[in-house]
Amino acid sequence: MENKVVERFLKYVRTNTCSDSKSGTTPSSAGQTEFAGVLSGELKNIGLQDVEVDQFGYVYATLPANIAVITPVVGFIAHMDTSPDFTGANVSPRIIESYPGGDIVLNEVKNIVLSPEVFPEINNYIGQRLIVTDGKTLLGADDKAGIAEIVTAMEYLVNHDEIKHGKVRIAFTPDEEIGEGADHFDVHKFGVDFAYTIDGGELGELEFENFNASGAKIVIHGSSVHPGYAKGKMKNAIMIANQLIAMLPPDEVPEQTDGYEGFYHVTRLIGSVEHAEIEFILRDFTREGINKRKLFLQTIVKLINKEFGDGTAELALNDQYFNMREKIEPVKYIVDIAAEAMRESGVEPKIVPIRGGTDGARLSYMGLPCPNIFNGGHNFHGKFEYIPTPSMAKACEVIVKIVEKVGKGRMKNE
């Protein structure tokens, strides 16, 4: 399956599907609408049924059962958009047939180098075929690799009728990267007992817990006075914003945390003397932890207002998604199925927390338990993104094994 999944992936990444949080539409970009049409045609061509692109650009399709016994319906989900953090236009991937180790020069003109000194994980793939960028764009493995793997696995099952299985559903969603991937997902129409997202992560990663996530925005109201006569009169919103940011714990930021550690992350700061705005994301694996982070922001806003006057700083908080673990644990057997499928495919499961979120997190709270399985990529959302092609082939194999296991009735939570 390796050559086929690579062929698909290289075709998919050439369509710019970068999402746009400011568009106000679903999908948020024309490229996603175009890509949905391409995928629906391909799904029909490989023999899937009930292929549909709905009014919101979601792609749904069915692999019919080839056995008479009624079994649980399993689903596989990936997202069509790529991150707006870095350009996805004019992606020009390059294949390294057998990575020899050492630096990979992505762009000689701009001296952009993918180095194991910065990204030591690449040493795990010496001798393997890699797909890398040209240093000018992201690659798009997040999550076009997942789409290519699902489609290739479905095609394999269509062409290998000796593998007995029940009904399988697949879905490709828009706008996951801007937090809107599950907004219009029709769980009832999808009609599965459980599903898996194939979305990110190195070979073997299997995830059923993720951050609790909240967003925050603090608006600072300053007061502009001629700087020559400003003593005791000016309130510089920019300086106040900087003071507030400096009150954050310096070791609780993304660049200082990993594993189960949460963080505060300043994502945007704009301002003038009169007016400044700070946008944050807050992340923690426990409800207690995320609530403490929200309380901490409330506390420092109160301190700012005490020092500079009531109404100087205004805080708005919004919950974004929650840790799927509490929804997955009652049906933990679905994680066991995936782990067994990996082992039978020669892949050792790495059960790790997602330091982020997936469509599966929100879908789990919409009544569709949905752990995440690796797609094999690394360094998403930027020019250093790469993916080893043997990992893509293994993802395809794991999907096939899951379908086969569910078809055999492996459903007990042992």
The pLDDT of residue 413: 37
Give residue-wise pLDDT tens across range 136-145.
999 999 999 9
Alpha-carbon distances of 164 from 78, 291, 411, rounded to whole Å: 24, 47, 16
Catalytic site residue from 20, 142, 143, 176 = 176
The pLDDT of residue 358: 81
Give residue-wise pLDDT tens across range 370-401.
999 999 999 999 999 999 999 999 999 999 99
Does the active-site annotation cover 288? no
Give residue-wise pLDDT tens across range 270-305.
999 999 999 999 999 999 999 999 999 999 999 999
The pLDDT of residue 330: 96
Residue 375 exposed, middle or buried by CB count within 10 Å (0-12, 13-18, 19+): buried
Give residue-wise pLDDT tens across range 179-202.
899 999 999 999 999 999 999 789
Residues whose CB falls within 8 Å of the CB of residue 371, separated by 6 or more in sequence, listed in order: 196, 197, 206, 207, 208, 324, 328, 334, 335, 338, 360
| Helix (H) / strand (E) containing 394 | helix 389-407
Catalytic site residue from 20, 81, 177, 205 = 81
Contact 337, 72 (CB under 8 A): no
Q: Calculate the CA 1 to chain-centre distance.
A: 24
For the residues of 54-115, what is the DSSP string, one character each?
Answer: -TTS-EEEEE--SSSS----EEEEEE--B-TTS--TT---EEESS--SS-EEEETTTTEEE-
The pLDDT of residue 278: 98
Does the active-site annotation cover 176? yes
Cα dihedral sign, 188-190-192-195: negative
Successive 10-residue mean pLDDT values, the chain, 414 residues: 96 96 94 98 98 98 95 97 94 97 95 96 98 97 97 98 96 94 96 95 95 96 95 96 98 96 97 97 97 98 97 96 95 97 97 88 95 96 97 98 88 38
**What's the whole-model pTM score?**
0.89
The residue ranges of every structural domain in the chain are 2-209+324-407, 212-321
> What's the CATH number of domain 2-209+324-407, 3.30.1390.20, 3.40.630.10, 3.20.20.140, 2.40.30.10?
3.40.630.10
Q: How far is Cα 296 from Cα 284, in angstroms, rounded to an integer?
A: 13
Residues in the chain: 414
The pLDDT of residue 412: 38
Which numeric CATH code is attached to 212-321? 3.30.70.360
Q: Which of 140, 204, 171 is nearest to 58 (CA)?
A: 171
The pLDDT of residue 409: 74
The pLDDT of residue 410: 46
